[in-house]
C-alpha cells in the first residue's frame, strides 16, 4: 500500500472520518483511534509478523523510565532515613549506578534488536558463513531505525529527568508507532509530539488547504523528481569501466543528488501533510540543504531530526567524556588553544558520521561515505584559522553575494563527492569513478556515451519531466532561501497567498505532471524506509 494508492486513500479517509467522529462524541478518546489506525497501517504497509518487535521496543522503553521513577523513590526514602551526609550521598550514588545499569541494559536491548535485524545477515555473508545476505530470511520491521531512535531518545530523556514518564502503555505505544512517521521519520521528541497526539482535535481547527498543498508538493518531489530518475541512474552507472568518461559519471551523480533530495524531502512533505490532517505537527526535517555554505551547515539542514539526535545522544555525551577532556588539555598545551578546543569535537564528529554511515548499511562504501563526511568537517574546523588568514590576506568580502555563491557551489561539490561512495555500491568502482572524473572528464564523450546506452523515447521523457520538477523545486527553494525562512518549506503559505486563477493553473499543471510520472514510474517505495 503506497501513499499514492487507492488503498492508502481509503485508509486515510476512514481514519480521518473515524477520528473526528470520535472527537465529537468522546474527545478524550481520539488518541485511541490514532493508535488503532497506526497499528493497522503498520500491518498493512509493513508486516503483521514483525509488529511484535515494535511492541517489544515500546514495552522496554515504557517500563524502564517507570523503573527509574520507582528507584528514585526508594533512593529518596533511604536518604531521608539517614542523618549522616556522607551516607546519604553514598546511597544516592549507589541508586544512580543501578539506574545507569538498567539504562545500559535497555539500550543494549533496543540497539541489539536493531543491529541483529539490520546487520547479522551481512556479517555472516562477509565471514563466508552464509550463501547470501538474505539467507536467514530475517524480516526487517518497517521504520525500525526511526522508531528505535525515537524510543531511545525518550528513554534517555527520562533517565535525565527531562520528560515525565508516560504511565499509560497504550499512549506510549502510540508515540512509538504514530503511522505518518513510520515510513521515514522524522525522529520526533516525546515532549513535542506526545502532547499533540493525546490532545483532542477538531476538523475546524485543521488547516486542510495547507496540509494538502504540502502533500502535493511532496508528490512532485517524490514521484516526478526522484522516481523518474531511479532507472536512468542505474543504467548510467551499471557498466562503468576505465574508459567511461567522467562527464557521464558526473551526470549520474548529479541526477542521484536530485533523486536523493526528491525522495527524502518529498516523502517528509507527504507524511507531514498527512499528519497535519489530524492536527499533529511533526518535527521539521529539511531546510534547503543544497543552499548550505559548508558541509557542517549541509548536515544541519539535511535530515535535521537525525542530526539533532546524533548531537544530543552521541556527540555531546562523547565529546564531554573524561578522555576527550584530557585530549583537549593535552593538545592545548602542545598544539595550541584552537586545536585543544577543536580536536575533541573533531573526534566526536568523525564518530558520529561513522555511526551514520553504518546506519545506512554495513557495506564498506557506506562506512567510507560516513568517514569522508566526518573527516572533511573535522579538517575544516581544525584548519579554520589558516583559511581565515588566507581569506583575509586576499581581502575577500565574505559578506558579499559572490562569496556566498562560491561557498554554496563549493559545498554542493563536496557533498556530491560524498555521493560517489553513497550511491556506487562497490568501493573500488567508487574510486575508479572519482579517478575518471578528475583525469578523464572528457565532456565531448558525454554525447556518444549517452547514445551508446540507447535511451528509449520513454526514458528521455522521464528525464525531461524530472528536469521540470527540479526547476520548480529549485525556484521555490531559492525564493524561500532569499526570504530567510527557518522552516522546512513555506510552499503552502506562498501558494495560498496567490490569486485563485494562479492557484488553479498551478494545481492543474503540477497535477498533470504527477499523473504523467505514473506512466513511467519505476521507482516505488521510499529510500530511507530501508534504513
Longest Cα–Cα distance of the chain, Å, equals 87
Half-sphere exposure of 282 (CA within 13 A, CB side): 29
The whole-angstrom separation of Cα 427 and Cα 365 is 5
Q: Is the pLDDT of residue 515 over 90?
A: no
The whole-angstrom separation of Cα 214 and Cα 226 is 17
Q: Is the pLDDT of residue 389 over 90?
A: no
**Which pLDDT value is given to residue 183?**
80
The whole-angstrom separation of Cα 484 and Cα 478 is 10
**Which pLDDT value is given to residue 507?**
82
Half-sphere exposure of 235 (CA within 13 A, CB side): 17
**Which pLDDT value is given to residue 127?**
65
Bigger pLDDT: 483 vs 436: 436
Segment 452-510, tens digit of pLDDT: 888 888 888 899 999 999 999 999 899 888 887 666 556 777 777 777 787 788 888 88
The whole-chain average pLDDT of the chain stands at 88
Which of 187, 204, 213 minimizes the C-alpha distance to 282?
187
- Binned at pLDDT 50, 70 and 90, residue 528 comes out as low
The whole-angstrom separation of Cα 492 and Cα 495 is 5
**Which pLDDT value is given to residue 487?**
60
Segment 309-367, tens digit of pLDDT: 999 999 999 999 999 999 999 999 998 999 999 999 999 999 999 999 988 887 889 99
**Which pLDDT value is given to residue 126?**
64
**Which pLDDT value is given to residue 488?**
55
Question: Is residue 527 within 8 Å of 264, Cβ to Cβ?
Answer: yes
The mean per-residue pLDDT over the stretch 185-207 comes to: 92
pLDDT more than 90, % of the chain:
59
Segment 128-187, tens digit of pLDDT: 655 655 555 556 777 888 999 999 999 999 999 999 999 999 999 999 999 999 888 899
Q: Is the pLDDT of residue 519 over 90?
A: no
What radius of gyration, in Å, describes the C-alpha atoms of the chain? 25
The mean per-residue pLDDT over the stretch 43-60 comes to: 88
Half-sphere exposure of 306 (CA within 13 A, CB side): 24
The whole-angstrom separation of Cα 279 and Cα 178 is 13
**Which pLDDT value is given to residue 449?**
87
Q: Is the pLDDT of residue 63 over 60?
A: yes
**Which pLDDT value is given to residue 301?**
94
Segment 391-433, tens digit of pLDDT: 888 888 888 889 999 999 999 999 999 999 999 988 899 999 9
3-12, 99-108, 452-461, 492-501: lowest mean pLDDT where?
492-501
310-314, 435-439, 442-446, 496-500: lowest mean pLDDT where?
496-500
DSSP state of 300: H
Amino acid at each position: 500500500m503506497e501513499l499514492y494508492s487507492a488503498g492508502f486513500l481509503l485508509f486515510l479517509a476512514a481514519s480521518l472520518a473515524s477520528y473526528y467522529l470520535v472527537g465529537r462524541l468522546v474527545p478524550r478518546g481520539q488518541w485511541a483511534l490514532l493508535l488503532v489506525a497506526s497499528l493497522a497501517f503498520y500491518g498493512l504497509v509493513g508486516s503483521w509478523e514483525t509488529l511484535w518487535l515494535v511492541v517489544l521496543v515500546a514495552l522496554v522503553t515504557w517500563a524502564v523510565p517507570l523503573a527509574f521513577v520507582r528507584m528514585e523513590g526508594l533512593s529518596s526514602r533511604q536518604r531521608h532515613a539517614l542523618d549522616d551526609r556522607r551516607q546519604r550521598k553514598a546511597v544516592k550514588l549507589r541508586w544512580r549506578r543501578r539506574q545507569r545499569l538498567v539504562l545500559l541494559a535497555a539500550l543494549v536491548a533496543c540497539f541489539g534488536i536493531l543491529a541483529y535485524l539490520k546487520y547479522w545477515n551481512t556479517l555472516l555473508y562477509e565471514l563466508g558463513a552464509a550463501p547470501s545476505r538474505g539467507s536467514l530470511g530475517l524480516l526487517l520491521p518497517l521504520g525500525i531505525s526511526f522508531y528505535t531512535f525515537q524510543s531511545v531518545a525518550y528513554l534517555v530523556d527520562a533517565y535525565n529527568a527531562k520528560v515525565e514518564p508516560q504511565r499509560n502503555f497504550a499512549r506510549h505505544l502510540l508515540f512509538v508507532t504514530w503511522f505518518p512517521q513510520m515510513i521515514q521519520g522524522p525522529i520526533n521528541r516525546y515532549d513535542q509530539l506526545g502532547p499533540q497526539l493525546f490532545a483532542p482535535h477538531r476538523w475546524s481547527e485543521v488547516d486542510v488547504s495547507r496540509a494538502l498543498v504540502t502533500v502535493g508538493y511532496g508528490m512532485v518531489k517524490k514521484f516526478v523528481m526522484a522516481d523518474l530518475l531511479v532507472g536512468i541512474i542505474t543504467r548510467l552507472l551499471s557498466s562503468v569501466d576505465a574508459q567511461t568518461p567522467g562527464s557521464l559519471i558526473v551526470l549520474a551523480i548529479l541526477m542521484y543528488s536530485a533523486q536523493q533530495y526528491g525522495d527524502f524531502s518529498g516523502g517528509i512533505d507527504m507524511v507531514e501533510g498527512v499528519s497535519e490532517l489530524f492536527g499533529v505537527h511533526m518535527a521539521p526535517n529539511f531546510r534547503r540543504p543544497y543552499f548550505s555554505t559548508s558541509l557542517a551547515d549541509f548536515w544541519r539542514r539535511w535530515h535535521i531530526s537525525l542530526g539533532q539526535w546524533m548531537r544530543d545522544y552521541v556527540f555531546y555525551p562523547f565529546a564531554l567524556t573524561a578522555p576527550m577532556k584530557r585530549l583537549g588539555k593535552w593538545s592545548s598545551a602542545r598544539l595550541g588553544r584552537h586545536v585543544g578546543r577543536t580536536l575533541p569535537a573533531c573526534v566526536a564528529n568523525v564518530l558520529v558520521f561513522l555511526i551514520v554511515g553504518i546506519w545506512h548499511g554495513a557495506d564498506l562504501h557506506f562506512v567510507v561515505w560516513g568517514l569522508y563526511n566526518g573527516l572533511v568537517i573535522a579538517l575544516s574546523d581544525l584548519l579554520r584559522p589558516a583559511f581565515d588568514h588566507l581569506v583575509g590576506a586576499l581581502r575577500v568580502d565574505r559578506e558579499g553575494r559572490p562569496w556566498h555563491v562560491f561557498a554554496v557551489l563549493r559545498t554542493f561539490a563536496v557533498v556530491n563527492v560524498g555521493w560517489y561512495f553513497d550511491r556506487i555500491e562497490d568501493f573500488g568502482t567508487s574510486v575508479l569513478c572519482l579517478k575518471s572524473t578528475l583525469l578523464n572528464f572528457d565532456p565531448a564523450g558525454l554525447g556518444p556515451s549517452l547514445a551508446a546506452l540507447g535511451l528509449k523515447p520513454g526514458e528521455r521523457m522521464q528525464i525531461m519531466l524530472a528536469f521540470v520538477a527540479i526547476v520548480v523545486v529549485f525556484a521555490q527553494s531559492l525564493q524561500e532561501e532569499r526570504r530567510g525562512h527557518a522552516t522546512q518549506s513555506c510552499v503552502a503559505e506562498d501558494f495560498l497567498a496567490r490569486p485563485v486563477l494562479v492557484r488553479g493553473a498551478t494545481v492543474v499543471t503540477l497535477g498533470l505532471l504527477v499523473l504523467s510520472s505514473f506512466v513511467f514510474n519505476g521507482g516505488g517505495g521510499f529510500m530511507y524506509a530501508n534504513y
